[in-house]
Amino acid sequence: MIIPEKLPTHVTFIMDGNGRWARKRGKERLAGHLEGTESVRAIVETSRELGIKYISFFAFSEENWNRSEAEVSGLMSLMIRSMKNEMPSLKKNGISFRVIGNRARLPKDVNECIDDMEAMTAECSDMVLIIFVSYSGKWDIQQAACRMAADGADDLEPYLATAGIPDPDLMIRTSGELRISNYMLWQLAYSEFVFTDTLWPDFRKQEYLAALEEFASRDRRFGKVK
């Protein structure tokens, strides 16, 4: 049983293993990404039930632009379809939607859909759902440093793409990979990490609750002595 006081405020996910999930079943990679959207839905619903305030997903990195044109195009189309499909549910459940990343690289139709989603859920306040698209931690720090220098400021955090969002308490990565892959390099400094061998399309409520229980058992000292 998870004690409410020990729940994280912000949980973030590196969703890994979609391609391997599809390959094991003799399917195209995009089939794994499609099944992975069901895992996103399960995690968002569970987080809403538990009262977790912020939930975020690393959906597409800047490095992912190097994948095949067919896969990138398929992912962009899937993103648009998923956003449109989830809009009624997000509004009904009071979930605000945000996208963070280098949006200048995104196709026009994707940006238009994002703008619509963000505007339509702007007044929602029960939970914040954040999707990182065309994002890299190095890009984030670089753009923040440039803006900070231009303003003659001395604090980087207000210039990060995540300004106003609490740093993740817990980062979960699926598929057995043991790295953070250029994701929120600044913001994950004191996050707890949980790595699981489960492929993302198979990561659902049961696996999520197990990760939250693992988080609750950790002793977070933030450099202090207890």
Looking at the predicted structure, is the pLDDT value of residue 224 above 80? no
Q: Which helix (H) or strand (E) holds 11?
A: strand 10-14
Q: What is the DSSP pairing of strand 95-100 with strand 54-61?
A: unpaired
Residue 5's pLDDT band, with cuts at 50, 70 and 90, is confident
DSSP code per residue over 32-72: HHHHHHHHHHHHHHHHHHHT--EEEEEEEEGGGGGS-HHHH
Q: Strand, helix or coil at 19? A: helix
- The answer to whether 94 and 126 have CB atoms below 8 angstroms apart is yes
pLDDT of the residue at 220: 83
Condensed to tens digits (0 to 9), the pLDDT of residues 7-33 reads 999 999 999 999 999 999 999 999 999
Looking at the predicted structure, is the pLDDT value of residue 185 above 80? yes
- The answer to whether 202 and 223 have CB atoms below 8 angstroms apart is no
Looking at the predicted structure, is the pLDDT value of residue 1 above 70? no
Task: Spell out the residues 6+ positions from residue 116 whose beta carbon is closer than 8 angstroms to its own.
Answer: none
Q: Which fold has domain 12-141+169-215?
A: Undecaprenyl pyrophosphate synthetase (3.40.1180)
pLDDT of the residue at 83: 94
Residue 226's pLDDT band, with cuts at 50, 70 and 90, is low
Domain spans of the chain? 12-141+169-215
Catalytic residue numbers, as ranges: 16, 64
Condensed to tens digits (0 to 9), the pLDDT of residues 95-138 reads 999 999 999 999 999 999 999 999 999 999 999 999 999 999 99
Looking at the predicted structure, is the pLDDT value of residue 221 above 90? no
- Reference 52, options 205, 188, 202, 212; nearest CA is 212
DSSP state of 7: S
pLDDT of the residue at 3: 82
